[in-house]
Chains A and B, each alone.
Chain A
Amino acid sequence: MKITVCIKRVPETEARIRIAGDGTSIDPAGLKFIVSPYDEYALEAALRLKEAAGQGEVAAITLGESAAAEQLRAALAMGADRAVLLKGAVGMDGLATARGLAAELQGSGADLILFGMKAVDDDQQQVGPMVAELLGLPCVTAVAELELQDGRIVCHREIEGGFEVVEAPLPAVVTVTKGKHEPRYPSLKGIMAAKKKPLEEKEAQVGQERVRLLGLSYPPERPPGRIVGEGPDAVPELVRLLREEAKVL
């Protein structure tokens, strides 16, 4: 069982995002970076499948700048067996990124390729199914639980107001959302072992970037709110405001 997990380096979720002077990029000063949270869920799912099978290999791949090696080391520390850094620029064009990843994954012999449901920087939610299409593989998205049953992958896919049970033959692509299992913390042993695991670096074959970023801006300020009052006695006034001022009741 060979599983590949695609992970992305993103700013941590608490980070304050400051727009740089050029107006089209984020000021990296002081930012801490993490493995995108959904990619950690994907990695956790991969490690569990391998453990359940009692054999196999989990590879982690990222496309990005050299610094993204840090996130690959984190994946190795969690338990991935090997890692590949595809060095290249990542923009807002998911299809360009997907081409770079697909070029590496093509013919890699992976039975299962896992993605996070979305990367929490650009929040695009597109790279996984794009890679699947480029490779001609079946794909199930937004999966909270997955298991293998005789050469097929059976998934719980989240939809509005419930979930679907979806199956697809292997090899397949799955994008993972939060499920029952929290991503494990790397043990000290894991961190030490990660230093000796293979981390290969090569140039990415990224597709042409066709999303032109015109500018970044901060969200419109919400008009200052007000404290209507304290305790239950403030409720009638709140209801009046919601009805007459905000007109939402």
Chain B
Amino acid sequence: MKNVLAIAEQRDGALRRVSQEVVSAARDLADALGGEVHALVMGPPGTTGAAGELGRWGADRVRVVEHEAFTQYNPDGFAQAAVAAARDGDYFAVLVPATAAGKDLAPRLAARLDVPLATDATAIAIEGGELVVTRPVYAGKAFARVALEGAPRLVSLRPNVFRPQERPRAGTVERHDAGLRPEEWRVRVREVVAAAAERPDVTEAEVVVSGGRGLRGPENWGMLEALCEAIGPRCTLGASRAVVDAGWRPHAEQVGQTGKTVSPQLYIAVGISGAIQHLAGMRTASVIVAINKDPDAPIFKVADYGIVGDAFEVVPRLTDEIRKLRSGE
């Protein structure tokens, strides 16, 4: 009852960054409890190769479940594999990344294991032997601290919040067949349609350049793309709901209460007023920059740095300065 299970995530055979985050968070818990970290990776045949890398981030053992149908997230199959792993180890806690897959998987696990679940945690800690989970509620207008009765304690972690830390452990890889029963799987992924972007998803990017109605029309997004390009591959585009509703940008880019919640290192809001529902999605960014021509726009209340001015003048200049900086590197 001292060990912690971390559920990792892979895509196209490579571990995703959230896997490092979840394993590192599990390492912190296990160290406080004097236990081990076991990681679980589910993927297609060949996943075993990448799995050993989790040792670097603190996994003592890495359990791999491979299946041809696991090239994509498979709700029923992943749930079976994860339940088998969770039952196998008498774990104190099971940590899941709060990604698209993890948000689907965690409640299924909770119901099958008959344990409560705390989702989208931004902090976890052992206090007096108990696991205390901090999670935002009311779109981040408040934080709740909760304790979970039952074992294992099941928690999903908000991506980009828990920092990966290198703490090498054995990372011994074991393959399991986990007693998968494909004949019981009913949800089938017919195809995965990737957005044309080679940029990271808005929930995963380190820098987000986000545009609002102040940009006047979809034809002006080239300016934000150029800025994003100048910042580099760690940057991606975001949007306010006003521009998504207007059809200027896809919903996948929407940041806010009815869009994505993001925690990048840098969030640049251009022509966005800073409505409470927008702030809900980005107020946990480490650094916020606002560019808005209205000095009274509410976005300036949460921004660390602001420029009052016309986006059409400020953004191209910013792109130039960042290009200069990067070419000098």
Contact = CB atoms under 8 A, between A and B. Distances in A.
Interface stretch (A47-55, A192-200, A220-228): A220-228
A242 B120 contact: no
Nearest to B232: A249
Interface stretch (B20-28, B44-52, B137-145): B137-145
Interface string B284-305: 0011110000010000111111
Query: Is the interface on chain B under 10, 10 to 19, 20 to 34, or 35 or more residues?
Result: 35 or more
The 3 nearest A-B residue pairs measured at CB: A133-B111, A160-B201, A126-B107
A161 interface: yes
B268 to A, nearest CB: 9
Nearest to B16: A160
Given A164-B190, A211-B149, A246-B266, 14 more contacts: A19-B142, A95-B110, A123-B137, A124-B120, A133-B108, A210-B115, A211-B116, A225-B288, A225-B305, A231-B314, A234-B307, A235-B317, A239-B322, A249-B322
B317 to A, nearest CB: 4
Interface stretch (B29-37, B70-78, B163-171, B172-180): B70-78
A17 B200 contact: no
A212 B108 CA distance: 21
Nearest to A117: B103
Given A141-B104, A167-B190, A231-B309, A243 B147 contact: no
A219 B277 CA distance: 15
Contacts, number: 268
B7 to A, nearest CB: 15
Contacts of A230: 307-309
A126 B308 contact: no
Interface of A: 11, 13-17, 19, 26, 37-38, 92-96, 98, 120-130, 132-134, 138-142, 144, 154, 157-169, 178-179, 182, 210-219, 222-223, 225-232, 234-236, 238-239, 241-243, 246, 248-249
A168 B136 contact: no
A248 B305 contact: no
A26 B138 CA distance: 10
Given A124-B119, A159-B192, A232 B186 contact: no
Nearest to B312: A232
Contact of B145 (A154, A167, A215): A215
Interface stretch (B60-68, B86-94, B210-218, B251-259): B251-259
A129 B287 contact: no
B150 interface: yes
Contacts of A168: 186-188
A126 B207 contact: no
B147 A214 contact: yes
A123 B73 contact: no
A219 B193 contact: no
Contacts of B306: 225-228
Main secondary structure of the interface of B (DSSP, over half): mixed
Contact of A121 (B116, B138, B147, B150): B138
B314 A219 contact: no
16 contacts: A11-B138, A17-B142, A19-B142, A38-B258, A95-B111, A123-B120, A123-B139, A129-B108, A159-B100, A161-B194, A161-B195, A164-B189, A165-B189, A212-B146, A222-B288, A225-B302
A162 B194 contact: yes
Contact of B203 (A17, A160, A162): A160
Contacts of B245: 182
Contacts of A122: 137-138, 144
A121 B289 CA distance: 28
B139 A158 contact: no
B305 A242 contact: yes
Contacts of A248: 207, 265-266, 286-287
A235 B186 CA distance: 55
B309 to A, nearest CB: 4
Contacts of A98: 111
A109 to B, nearest CB: 19
A98 B110 CA distance: 11
B183 interface: no
Contact of A166 (B142, B189, B310): B189
A95 B108 CA distance: 10
B62 to A, nearest CB: 23
Nearest to B106: A126
Given A231-B313, A242-B305, A210 B120 contact: no
A231 B292 CA distance: 10
B251 A161 contact: no
